[in-house]
Amino acid sequence: MADSGIPGHRWVDSTWAFLQEGYPFIRKRCAKYRSPVFQTRLLGRRTLCLSGLEAAELFYDARRFVRTPTSTPAPLRNILLGTGSVQGLDGAPHARRKQLFLELLDTQNVQRLARLFEARLSEAIARLPANQPFDCLPWLEALLCRSVCEWAGVAPMNDQAMHRLTRRLASLIDGNGRLDWRMPAAWMRRKACEAQAVGWIEECRREGDSAAQQSPLHKLAQHRDDQGQLLPPHVAAVELLNLLRPVVAVGRFQLFGLIELERRPQWRANIVANEGAAWAFSEEVRRFYAFFPMVAAFVRERFEWRGYRFEKGTRVLLDLFGSNRDPSHWKTPESFAPERFGQCPMKTSVISQGGGEYTYHRCPGEPLTLALMQQTFEYLCRHVHWRLDVKEVDFQRLPMLPREPVLISVVTG
């Protein structure tokens, strides 16, 4: 045990072990040390790892921890989030930029995007041939990408250009956390996405006020920082992608939900019959399948917590996956059980998209994620006869996915 009182081995690098073990990495070691925190090294840097909902409450205390552009390792940060994004800001700059996202993702805008997605989903299902299986995830991602581009005010694209954009955005998600050939491929696609988004921002600024001036694209293009200056085109483009990419990522939550609906046909009937059932089911999907394993910050000032000393400047990782399975909070956390949420929406302790307040570092797109998930499950359960070829999800894979493509088909007869 180190002088800080924190168990673990501060000089042993665990990067390889993390890549091999995947999502259970932090939770397993917290159990081993019988501690909500342990120390190790990841990518050569001393790191404290936290797990559990009490630890999450600590982590989202802005007096204790600070987010900076270097909180997340550069290869992962640059592929997933981009340089200059709101996730790397803190204090007043973060508050101002975050307020923009809260406005862009208010209730009215969430409902507008949800309606667009439902329309695209209905159109796509009407075109599907019966009893012919196809890969479910790329199909969902394509529908989400088309919907969010229309919602954001991005200029219409032909099918080929839309397909290319969808695959690029999906690559940013899948290449994040993979120290293999996918990472450089994802990096190249990130640069291509940013160049395309810079073009949209600059075109919007050239056009000035127009009928589309209330679109998310226009608001991002015209947003000003604390000094009253327009964001650099590259930064505005990064933030536009931070609207588009997370919506495409919702396809994974939708996929995991469809897998569970195939395993639990009683929940298909429950969703049809009971208002609130789709919400409870969606929350359990997010709890059980937290596909971002962790988030990072630095200790703001030295402090003690539960007898452990946290030194200023130390990098800290919060285990999202394990905290969502904290046995001190969740009964039978390893079981998929939507009924644990009851039938009425309420504030929960699911932290798959961050914790704390939306004005801090909790994802402002969380209500949108839930809306798109609920809409998908309700529509498919109520209006479509479908069958899924269920595959096991690989929790060692970063980010998690089924071991093989999951095929879905519309069933007739």
Domain coordinates in residue numbering, the chain? 8-410
Count CA atoms within 13 Å of residue 364 on its CB side: 22
Q: In this structure, are residues 378 and 7 in contact, taking their beta carbons and an 8 Å threshold? A: no
List binding-site positions.
363
Q: How would CATH label the architecture of 8-410?
A: Orthogonal Bundle (1.10)
List per-residue pLDDT tens for the chain, 413 residues long.
Answer: 445 799 999 899 999 999 899 999 999 999 999 999 999 999 899 999 999 999 999 999 989 999 876 776 666 667 777 788 887 777 888 889 999 999 999 999 999 999 999 999 999 999 999 999 999 999 999 999 999 999 999 989 999 999 999 999 999 888 766 556 667 788 888 899 999 999 999 999 988 766 556 899 999 999 998 888 999 999 999 999 999 999 999 999 999 999 999 999 999 999 999 989 999 999 999 999 998 889 999 999 999 999 999 999 999 999 999 999 999 999 999 999 999 997 555 456 899 998 888 767 788 999 999 999 999 999 999 999 999 999 999 999 989 999 999 999 999 75
Beta strands per DSSP E along 223-348: 294-299, 303-305, 308-310, 315-319
List binding-site positions for heme.
363
Which pLDDT score is estimated for 207? 84
Sign of CA dihedral 240, 242, 245, 250: negative
Instruction: Please list, in sequence order, all residues whose beta carbon lies within 8 angstroms of the beta carbon of residue 181, skipping any fewer than 6 positions away.
Output: none
CA distance 274 to 266: 12
Which pLDDT score is estimated for 181? 64
CA distance 82 to 84: 6
Burial of 391 (0-12, 13-18, 19+ CB in 10 A): middle
Task: Count other Cβ atoms within 10 Å, centred on residue 51.
Answer: 29
Model pTM? Answer: 0.94
